[in-house]
Amino acid sequence: MSQKLTPPRLRDDCFAMPQGVSWVPVDDALARLRSVMVPLTDKVLLHPANALGAVLAVDAVAMRSNPPRANSAVDGYGFAHAATGQGVQTLPLLEGAAAAGQPFAGAVPPGSAIRILTGAILPAGVDTIVLEEDCAINATHVAFDGPVKVRANARAAGEDMAQGGIALRAGHRLRAPDLALMSALNIAELQVFRPLRVGVLSTGDEIIAAAGQPAEPHQIYDANRPMLLSLVKGWGYVPVDLGHVRDDESEIAARLDSANVDVILTSGGASAGDEDHVSRLLRTRGTLSSWRIAVKPGRPLALALWNGVPVFGLPGNPVAALVCAAIFARPSLSLMSGAGWVEPLVMTVPAAFSKSKKPGRREYLRARLVDGRAEVFASEGSGRISSLAWADGLVELPDEACKVSSGTPVRFLPYAGLGIF
């Protein structure tokens, strides 16, 4: 039996823009999405080993201090600082040693020293350690120059994190380093939001569902679905392949009805043409708001609710689909997942190209960094799918007119900062 999902509850008219708005600036579109998207509320318990990419639903609290006891940060010799002073210090050595996982059983008398290795719990009577490189030793004594700073090379119990302290706040998306911290703090269960399930659907009579199948000259292979499914996975969500359906409204409706997901990404049919069946279906049987966004590439973005599930109708062109997914869908999905709204990572770098841009639309140019400068693809044609593979990021040009020449500072959005791997 499939899991019953509870999608975010949105108003039927949540995506509607104010009357009279025809072209929507990018910032206005983002602000609108940020104001209407609703995070999931379903929670599950996961062991840290299975929690990569999950979003904390409650604060993670340390169940153990790290380190649990005072220990040595170096290989050297430990002693009581109060028994040392100025000049050369010569202390008798006790037999034995303290090592990580093999604590010294006895106590170290004042004025004596013990061999101690990195990570070893400090024996009773030891509060300071001197590096072995700074020591002269023989079979019975150790000598070093004083004075030595009190508690030198000693880690205090809980200096990294004390038991009961908040290790990570709710809303944090768990990464590999976070899971190391959770394990070190003996946190065996993490309360996280249920992973967001994102359906990806391709439509169009001209589309061949998968490479390797025969295709007529008027047909094209589905580039969007594998790209979008991979994006969804890279963003830390559960990708659900809803497949490809031809331009038949009943088939599209049946596929949408059977989707067991929290949000749906479609590609193709997002504008208002005669063959844009997705838009027409969402308008007649769902609640559709067609946004004409002042962005290049892109422009048409259909947003709707289908049986309470948000639908992002992305452009059919793969270049535009990637840009719209990265700029609009990614932060929206992050908010829905419980991780909050995310902004793209932006770097300011010198341009290695020239361009005169007209006002009216924000532009995203496929680009890559070479020797710290942003090169752009030779052609701005949105049909150049090879440019997506050539690039390692996007150059963002402002809504206003601008002139770029070699050396002009430009905004560069690296693929990695958009979750594109």
Domain 347-418, second-level architecture: Beta Barrel (2.40)
Residue intervals of the chain classified under CATH 3.90.105.10 are 45-66+159-193
pLDDT at 37: 92
Residue intervals of the chain classified under CATH 2.40.340.10 are 347-418
> Rounded to whole angstroms, how far apart are CA atoms 186 and 193?
20
* pTM (global) more than 0.85: yes
> Rounded to whole angstroms, how far apart are CA atoms 401 and 397?
9
Look up residue 35 and give its two tokens. Answer: 């104001």
Is residue 6 predicted with pLDDT exceeding 70?
A: no
Residue intervals of the chain classified under CATH 3.40.980.10 are 23-42+195-337
Residue intervals of the chain classified under CATH 2.170.190.11 are 71-155
Query: Over the stretch 144-162, which tens digit does the pLDDT of each residue have?
Result: 999 999 999 999 999 999 9
Percentage with pLDDT > 70 across the chain: 93
Query: Over the stretch 173-196, which tens digit does the pLDDT of each residue have?
Result: 999 999 999 999 999 999 999 999
Q: 393-397 and 362-370: which strand pairing?
A: antiparallel
**According to the per-residue pLDDT averaged within each range, which of 26-35, 301-310, 381-390, 408-417 is highest?**
408-417
Look up residue 318 and give its two tokens. Answer: 């793969």
Question: Domain 23-42+195-337 carries which CATH code?
Answer: 3.40.980.10
Which one is predicted more confidently, 212 or 323? 323
Is residue 253 predicted with pLDDT exceeding 80?
A: yes
H or E element at residue 321: helix 318-324
Q: Domain 71-155: what homologous superfamily?
A: Molybdopterin biosynthesis moea protein, domain 3. (2.170.190.11)
Assigned CATH class of 45-66+159-193: alpha beta
| Least trusted range by pLDDT, from 276-285, 360-369, 404-413 | 276-285
| Least trusted range by pLDDT, from 2-11, 21-30, 68-77, 244-253 | 2-11
In 3D, which of 316, 369, 313 has the Cα closest to residue 345? Answer: 369
- Kindly state the average pLDDT of the residues 71-92: 97
Is residue 141 predicted with pLDDT exceeding 50?
A: yes
| Least trusted range by pLDDT, from 12-26, 92-106, 109-123 | 12-26
